[in-house]
Amino acid sequence: MSDASTKRLKIGILEGDDIGHEVVPASVRIARAAAEAAGQEIAWVDVPIGRRALDTHGHTMPEGTLETLSGLDGWILGPIGHREYPKVPEAINPHPILRKHFDLFANVRPTRSFPGIGCLQDDIDLVIVRENNEGFQPDRNVVAGSGEFRPSHDMTISVRVISTAGSTKVARAAFEIARTRDKRLTLVHKNTVYKLGCGMFVDCCYEVAKDFPDVTVDEVIVDTMAMRLVRDPQSFDTIVTTNMFGDILTDEAAGLVGGLGMAPGLCIGRGSVAMAQATHGSAPDIAGKGIANPFAMIESTRMLFDWLGHHHGLERVLELSRHMKRGIDAALAEPATRTPDIRGTGTQEDMVAGIIKRMEAA
Ligand code: ATP
């Protein structure tokens, strides 16, 4: 193998909160085993973040975090339970800052059905590409203050930001993904009502479409999409949409295939780093019980390696990703190596050990 196709990767481990302390280490264990099998060197870097970092370093995102991450090829970010943080200035929600700082403008969230795990429908294989850094999200659509404010006690105003730059970037990312799949891209919006905001998003998508004549484009209004996702999810391949619509639709899609434990995600941009981040929150209700489904985080981690492998042309990293996929698919096929939320009889540890065992056997 030539030098150009091998590279020691530096990957950050950011556990986050609650079940993050379980599902992130589980993902790292599996990735380590896959890396060893593929002959891929990885330097793992622990980066404190979240509630534990507040206790140990006095801040949920300690000073120097961004600098540390800048030196990495990518990182695994566990769920952040910021709603339970104490109301002090040092307790901030780090993930919008990470997405913004590294311009991780596209949140790639696949939905796949697996037999026997309680999916509401079979043969689902779609991916929602959600704009990540603007839209209705008040913590990331302004540079100072908040995109939500209350001019009087009886009134709140929420601002939605749609820009040509943000829309064009996420559209291009989605077309690129569609090109590697079934070459079909569905634009989801509501330009019938949001004539300016969604109108601008749709115009940008069609402008980018000119560079992708091989990809077929169609459009679905977001409320119709919410219905069609339940009735005929198999008719969709790649979907691109604005931030909040994407947030809602990806949870809905997760519901079709076994719930939030089955919803992985990867945040990407134009740069050379990416961030694995599952769709689910920190699930404090099941933290510490050993039953949180690690699939979403493990698959997010696999997506990170798959992306790095393609992005940098690293065959061993692609092999690592293939190892992980074989282990994951085999473990999901057996109730004993699945968690209870997906009709399993096993624990989280049974699932993780099962994936590693299946990888070794392969
Ligand atoms: P956030 O607002 O941070 O996204 P949320 O309010 O959507 O969080 P979650 O923490 O994602 O809430 O949890 C929602 C429900 O899904 C909870 O009942 C939780 O136990 C369940 N859940 C979330 N993640 C998993 C998982 N990995 N495995 C099993 N159940 C999960």
Output the domain CATH number for residue 148: 3.40.718.10
Overall domain count for the chain: 2
Answer with the one of 213, 233, 256 that is the final residue of a domain: 256
Same domain (yes/no): 228, 137: yes
Same domain (yes/no): 236, 189: yes
Q: Which residue has the higher pLDDT, 228 or 141?
A: 228
**Protein residue with its CA nearest to atom 15 in ligand 1:** 283
pLDDT digits (tens, 9 = 90+) for 290-304: 999 999 999 999 999
Answer with the one of 209, 229, 256 that is the final residue of a domain: 256
Same domain (yes/no): 5, 72: yes
Same domain (yes/no): 230, 334: no
Helical axes 20-38 vs 295-312, angle rounded to 10°: 40
Give the Cα separation of 148 and 261 in Å (integer). Answer: 30
| Whole-number pLDDT of residue 2 | 42
Q: Which of 250, 260, 351 most suits a substitution to test ligand 1, by most atoms within 8 Å of the C-beta?
A: 260
Q: Could you tell me which residues come within 8 angstroms of residue 168 by beta carbon, excluding any fewer than 6 positions away?
A: 204, 207, 208
Q: Please give all residues whose beta carbon lies within 6 A of any atom in ligand 1, as ranges.
A: 19, 260-261, 280-283, 285-286, 292-293, 296, 341
**Domain membership flag for residue 109:** no
Banded pLDDT at 4 (limits 50, 70, 90)? low
Answer with the one of 237, 256, 275 that is the final residue of a domain: 256
Predicted TM-score (pTM) above 0.85: yes
Same domain (yes/no): 4, 54: yes
Q: Supply the range of the domain harboring residue 215.
A: 120-256
Measure 288 CA to ligand 1 centroid, in angstroms. Answer: 14
**Protein residue with its CA nearest to atom 17 in ligand 1:** 283
Same domain (yes/no): 141, 248: yes
**Protein residue with its CA nearest to atom 19 in ligand 1:** 283
**Domain membership flag for residue 108:** no
For the sheet with 238-241, list strands across it. 42-46, 9-14, 74-77, 274-276, 266-268, 106-112, 125-131, 238-241, 184-189, 216-221
**Protein residue with its CA nearest to atom 16 in ligand 1:** 260
pLDDT digits (tens, 9 = 90+) for 91-109: 999 998 999 999 999 999 9
Mean pLDDT of the chain: 96
Same domain (yes/no): 151, 242: yes
